[in-house]
Structures are given as structure tokens and as C-alpha cells.
């Protein structure tokens, strides 16, 4: 049994840091383990242009711990009115690494999202020409679509024609949750990749629903059947460069999760790499973790691999029951439970 693993420092290719007072905790947690992170733009109001992204980045930078080199990689929020001029400005800025598309109403703060990908094909053509990746929340939100089928329907109705129309467009299907998504990404051209969250590797919909509704497992896209979980584990541990780490760590105040209309999102950034290590350990694939966590994301984005390493050891510790979140508290995934791997740094050695 392997009790220690050293890997190149990982990056997070999909994270929600939120804004304002919440940044004090979320930035610290992300910077603690990751060298870089793709920052989601679904604030209120959303980050739709270079100026807003620059201002948001400055707010993030003020919370990076002293001596830490964490780099936030900024994105823009794609809307029906995002113009070619906006895309060219993003490219010229040198600070925008991708553009994120949310179907309108699909998830937190997505009401300004895209109502029709087909209607913005000229904008997407410009992105393809300039080499700006499109990050997709791949769900259809029509009321006639079952919540467990949203991702499959999106692939069939929108993603297949999109990739056929723009074969040179770099596309990341974010936080995939289904076997159909795994199969699509595997079979697509090399410009198509996917991120996978740790909650979708560790859990399935039984964990969300059996014995009562467990709101801190609720995220979107929602946890699926175990057959889909198994497909995701297979993809993450396959050593395919098409699949890489994206936590989709998405904090909400505890009272907003534990309510009659609980918010979607799991907070994992506080122990993300430890949780991923646990998932890969369960799959007897610790030797595949470095590729998934540290190599394949930079390769897809055309960025250098990090030049330092981190070490994790097999050691049980108890996840906190809550963490500060601005004026509120956030309940992290696995709150109060045992985590079986520990990242070696000062903050975790105290646990």
C-alpha cells in the first residue's frame, strides 16, 4: 500500500471564488494547494468585459497569502450580446484565458446566460480564430427535460452540431457527470476536453437522496447513477489528456444550502487535492493522479507545467464542520467526516 505521493503542483481549471468578504477564505483555500485556477465569472453582476475582469482580479489578488504565487486566470461571462469586439479585446488584454457559457437559468447567477448557442455563432467563430477556449455548462434547462437528462440532451442537441460547425474551437465541457459525456469527449477531436469534480468521483445520487435529502451533496449538474460515477472514475484515471481537474468548488452560506430551496454547489477547495487523492486511491490509480491534476490542464490551455511539487501522505484527519464565509459560514463537503489523505503543509499538520 502506497502511503506517500509527490506530484507536480496541481492547478484548478474551474473554481468559484465568489466576491467581497467571501474572498478572504476562498482565495486562501485555493492558493493553499493550487498554483493557478480558472476563475468563474458568474458574479452579480457578471464579469462580461475586460475591465470588469481586471477589477475582479485585483480584488482576488489582495487576498492571496503573503509569499504565495497563486495566479487567478480570468474568464468572461458569455451572453447573447457578447460581441466580436468584446472577444478581440479579451484576446488583446492577455489576461482572459477563456469565455464561459451558462445556459440561462442553469445554475447560480446564470440568468444572464446564453439562450441560444446558434445565435452567437459569429462570436464563437471569432473565438475559434483567436484561440480562446469556450467553457460550457452543458445542460438544457427546458422544463420538459428531466434534471437527470439535462447533460445528455445538451450534448445531443447543441454540442454535437457545435463541434461539427467549429472543429478548431477549443471546448471544455465542464464538470461532466454522465457516461454519455465521457464517451462524447473521448470520441471528439483533440480540441474538446472535460473537467471532472471530486464530488462526482466520490459520490452518486444515492448519497444525495437516500435516507433524506442531503443538501451539501447538491450541485449542478446533479449527481447521477453509480454507472455514471464509474464512467467518470474510469475517465479521470485513464491517463487521457482530454480529462483534467476542475473542482467546481462553489460555496454558499450554510443557511442558503439548508433551506426550502437549497442552493446548488459543493465547497471542496479547502481540501480538494486530498479528496481527489482519496478518489484515485479508491480506484487503485494513484500513479494517474499527476497527469489528471498537474499535466493535462496546462497542455490543453497551452501553458507551462508548474515547476514545484507537493506531497501528500496517507493520514486520517477530520474535516471542519464549518468555515468562515464573509459574515456567514460555509459547510464544506465531508464536514465532520474523516479524510484519509493529508497535504503536507503547516496548516494541515495542525489537524
Q: Is 135 annotated as a binding residue?
A: no
Judge whether 298 and 217 are in contact, CB under 8 Å.
no
Q: Is 340 annotated as a binding residue?
A: no
Q: Is 100 annotated as a binding residue?
A: yes
Residue by residue, DSSP assigns 229-263 as HHHHHHHHTTT-TTEEE---B----HHHHSSTTPP
Strands 309-318 and 4-8: antiparallel
Residue by residue, DSSP assigns 219-230 as -SSPP--HHHHH
Q: Is 137 annotated as a binding residue?
A: yes
Q: How far apart are CA 314 and CA 278, in angstroms?
A: 9
Classified as helix, coil or strand, 332 is coil
Q: Which of 52, 48, 60 is nearest to 20 (CA)?
A: 60
Q: Is 14 annotated as a binding residue?
A: yes
Q: Is 111 annotated as a binding residue?
A: no
Residue with cell 447573447: 80
* 39 φ, ψ (degrees, to nearest 5): -95, 125
- Biggest distance spanned by C-alpha atoms of the chain: 55
Cis preceding-peptide flag for 73 (omega within 30 of 0): no
DSSP 129: H
- Read off the C-alpha cell for 143: 422544463
Q: Is 281 a catalytic residue?
A: no
Q: Is 17 annotated as a binding residue?
A: yes
> Which one from 149, 248, 287, 337 is the annotated catalytic residue?
248
Q: Is 252 annotated as a binding residue?
A: yes
Judge whether 237 and 244 are in contact, CB under 8 Å.
no
Q: Is 220 annotated as a binding residue?
A: yes
Cis preceding-peptide flag for 128 (omega within 30 of 0): no
Q: Is 158 annotated as a binding residue?
A: no
Q: How far apart are CA 26 and CA 248, in angstroms?
A: 12
Q: What residue numbers does the annotated binding site for substrate cover?
A: 16-18, 42, 137, 220, 252, 264
Q: What residue numbers does the annotated binding site for Zn(2+) cover?
A: 14, 16, 100, 137, 175, 248
List, by residue number, the catalytic residues. 248
Amino acid at each position: 500500500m502506497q502511503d506517500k505521493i509527490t506530484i507536480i503542483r496541481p492547478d484548478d481549471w474551474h473554481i468559484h471564488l465568489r466576491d467581497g468578504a467571501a474572498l478572504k477564505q476562498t482565495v486562501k483555500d485555493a492558493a493553499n494547494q493550487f498554483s493557478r485556477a480558472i476563475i468563474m465569472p458568474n458574479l452579480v453582476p457578471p464579469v462580461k468585459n475586460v475591465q470588469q475582469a481586471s477589477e475582479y482580479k485585483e480584488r482576488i489578488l489582495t487576498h492571496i497569502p503573503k509569499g504565495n504565487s497563486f495566479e487567478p486566470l480570468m474568464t468572461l461571462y458569455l451572453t447573447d450580446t457578447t460581441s466580436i469586439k468584446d472577444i478581440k479585446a479579451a484576446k488583446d488584454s492577455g489576461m482572459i484565458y477563456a469565455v464561459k457559457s451558462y445556459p440561462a437559468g442553469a445554475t447560480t447567477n446564470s440568468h444572464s446566460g446564453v439562450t441560444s448557442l446558434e445565435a452567437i455563432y459569429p462570436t464563437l467563430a471569432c473565438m475559434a480564430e483567436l484561440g480562446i477556449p469556450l467553457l460550457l455548462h452543458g445542460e438544457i434547462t427546458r422544463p420538459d427535460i428531466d434534471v437527470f437528462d439535462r447533460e445528455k440532451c445538451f450534448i445531443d442537441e447543441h454540442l454535437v452540431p457545435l463541434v461539427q460547425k467549429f472543429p478548431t474551437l477549443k471546448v471544455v465541457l465542464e464538470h461532466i457527470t454522465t457516461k454519455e459525456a465521457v464517451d462524447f469527449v473521448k470520441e471528439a477531436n483533440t480540441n474538446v476536453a472535460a473537467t471532472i469534480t471530486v464530488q462526482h468521483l466520490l459520490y452518486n445520487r444515492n448519497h444525495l437522496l437516500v435516507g433524506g435529502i442531503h443538501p451539501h451533496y447538491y450541485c449542478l449538474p446533479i449527481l447521477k447513477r453509480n454507472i455514471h460515477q464509474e464512467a467518470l472514475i474510469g475517465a479521470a484515471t485513464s491517463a487521457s489528456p482530454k480529462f483534467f481537474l476542475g473542482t467546481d468548488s462553489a460555496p454558499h452560506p450554510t443557511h442558503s444550502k439548508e433551506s426550502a430551496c437549497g442552493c446548488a454547489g459543493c465547497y471542496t477547495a479547502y481540501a480538494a487535492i486530498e479528496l481527489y487523492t482519496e478518489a484515485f486511491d479508491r480506484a487503485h490509480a494513484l500513479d494517474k493522479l499527476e497527469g489528471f491534476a498537474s499535466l493535462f490542464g496546462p497542455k490543453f490551455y497551452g501553458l507551462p507545467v508548474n515547476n514545484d511539487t507537493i506531497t501528500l501522505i496517507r493520514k486520517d484527519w477530520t474535516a471542519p464542520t464549518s468555515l468562515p464565509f464573509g459574515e456567514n459560514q460555509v459547510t464544506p463537503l465531508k464536514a465532520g467526516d474523516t479524510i484519509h489523505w493529508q497535504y503536507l503543509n503547516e496548516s494541515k499538520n495542525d489537524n
